[in-house]
Amino acid sequence: MAPPALSPSIPPSPWEPAGRRAQQREVKRNAVLQTAAQLFNERGFHATSLDDIAERLNVSKPTLYYYVESKDQILLECVKTALDLMQAGIGEVRAAGGSAIDQLKACMRIYSGVVTQDFGMCVIRIGEDPLPDPLKKELRRLKAGIDGQFRRLIEDGVAEGSLAPCDPKMAAFMLAGALSWIGRWYRPDGELTPDQIADQGIDLLLNGVLHRPVAARRKPAAAKAKR
Which residues bind to a second copy, rule: CB under 8 A?
A: 44-47, 101, 125-126, 128-130, 132-133, 136, 154, 157, 161-164, 166-167, 170-171, 173-182, 184-185, 192, 197, 200-201, 204-212, 214-216
Question: Measured from the CB of residue 130, what is the shortest distance to a second copy in angstroms?
Answer: 5
Question: Measured from the CB of residue 83, what is the shortest distance to a second copy in angstroms?
Answer: 15
Length of the chain: 227
- Tell me how far apart the alpha carbons of residues 82 and 101 are, in angstroms, rounded to a whole number: 24
**Residue 8 three-state SS:** coil
In the complex with a second copy, the residue whose CB is nearer, 62 or 213, is 213
Question: Measured from the CB of residue 100, what is the shortest distance to a second copy in angstroms?
Answer: 11
User: Residue 168: CA atoms inside 13 Å, Cβ hemisphere, count?
Assistant: 15
- Tell me how far apart the alpha carbons of residues 219 and 225 are, in angstroms, rounded to a whole number: 10
In the complex with a second copy, the residue whose CB is nearer, 215 or 225, is 215
Question: Measured from the CB of residue 14, what is the shortest distance to a second copy in angstroms?
Answer: 44
In the complex with a second copy, the residue whose CB is nearer, 89 or 201, is 201
Question: Measured from the CB of residue 148, what is the shortest distance to a second copy in angstroms?
Answer: 13
In the complex with a second copy, the residue whose CB is nearer, 81 or 112, is 112
SS (H, E, C) 84-152: HHHHHHHHHHHHHCCCHHHHHHHHHHHHHHHCCCHHHHHHHHCCCCCCCHHHHHHHHHHHHHHHHHHHH
Q: How far is CA 4 from the centre of its chain?
A: 52
In the complex with a second copy, the residue whose CB is nearer, 30 or 196, is 196
Rg, C-alpha atoms of the chain: 24
